[in-house]
Structure 1
Amino acid sequence: MAKRNKIYKVNLIKSDELTITGKGESSLWEQSEVLNDFISPWDATQRSEIEFRALWDGKYLFFCFTVYDSKIHIDTKDDSIDSIGNSDRVELFFRPDASLNPYYCLEIDTAARVMDFKAYPDKNFDFNWNWPKDEISVKSSKDELSFTVEGAISLDSLNKFTLIKENKIETGIFRAKYNSKQNIHFEPTWISWVHPNTEEPNFHIASSFGVLYLVS
């Protein structure tokens, strides 16, 4: 029997009403569904609660992660790919289809630094590619209990990359949490919305994706 995709319904709001602040403070977020059934199949460590929300307005896909974690690890030596890749972050992957040839990745740390790249099967990454800067906005905030990453992606860009089909966007939603090991180095715990059914952590595989459904 074929595996059924997880589906998250993205509710429609009026255009030009939602402002991205990085705090997820707009009352419009109350119109969104809360996605919080994240799992870490490869790590028994108790994970922090994660809430993901999304909305759309005909022009933009809005998203908001709230992660209830006060122990944040961030590598601040520079703004390189390596630095972001060694930091706590949330991730969105988008694909045109299950071939993953190609797919598009956004990895965002708690300082709203974005590692964006185009990818191909077998973890073939093109870090020279970037999401068009005028087509995406990301902001973040943190307090003593949590951090928030909030953003907007233009539907024009999603359509340009053939990522919207019949109001469906095939999407992977993830988090990387870095934990100190004997105060010597940090190792990640990998957290996913969809269980990819792999023995080792791997988000770069067709089975790790669900569907964002744009409700009209």
Structure 2
Amino acid sequence: MVLDKFDVEEIGWNGSFHSVLELFSELINYQIAPNKHRKPERFIEFEALLESSDTLSKWQESKANNVKNPVFMSFQKKYKNFNDNDLRALGMEMQENGLFLSKGQILFRGVCSENSNDNWELPVSTTLSPYIATYHALKNGYTKPIKIYVIEIKTDSTIKAVIAPFGENVEFGHEYEVLVDFKSRPKVSEEIKRGVIIFKFLSF
């Protein structure tokens, strides 16, 4: 089964990496100093879309949920303790129970300086929320290099994912997590460095 594409045009995405760079800059400022900066209006509107989207409701109704994925349930709570063997077991579970992402789907990922799991050949945690990606990138501070990725699925029905339960009443539901089994290294379409932050536009 292929998941319907969830569009992210609400945050200004138009196929160009530069269309979301300003939003990420605003989200970084908000994450670093929430008392001095407001959450961007267009992202507030996007949060409302995440909560009300018919497409994401269909994702939640699919079989790709953590009720049928016990390794993924464990990963959500104990990901820091997962070694390569655990991640391979997770990948096997994903191949059995996961669903295919649509061509053109956009995902986000933030990697902090302490995160050693940046191996794209093992299952990778991504999100539909630019804010969550920003949070994870900056959660251990911003004095060391960190990375924020915008990821585009270029291929049709070849990449499997497990969709976490979404919603405020669900543990981790605010993260809008999409765990993806890319099984390959991405193509870097564009890279921009601003201070200690590296922005990368990737495609699979």
**TM-score normalised to the size of structure 2?**
0.32
**TM-score normalised to the size of structure 1?**
0.31
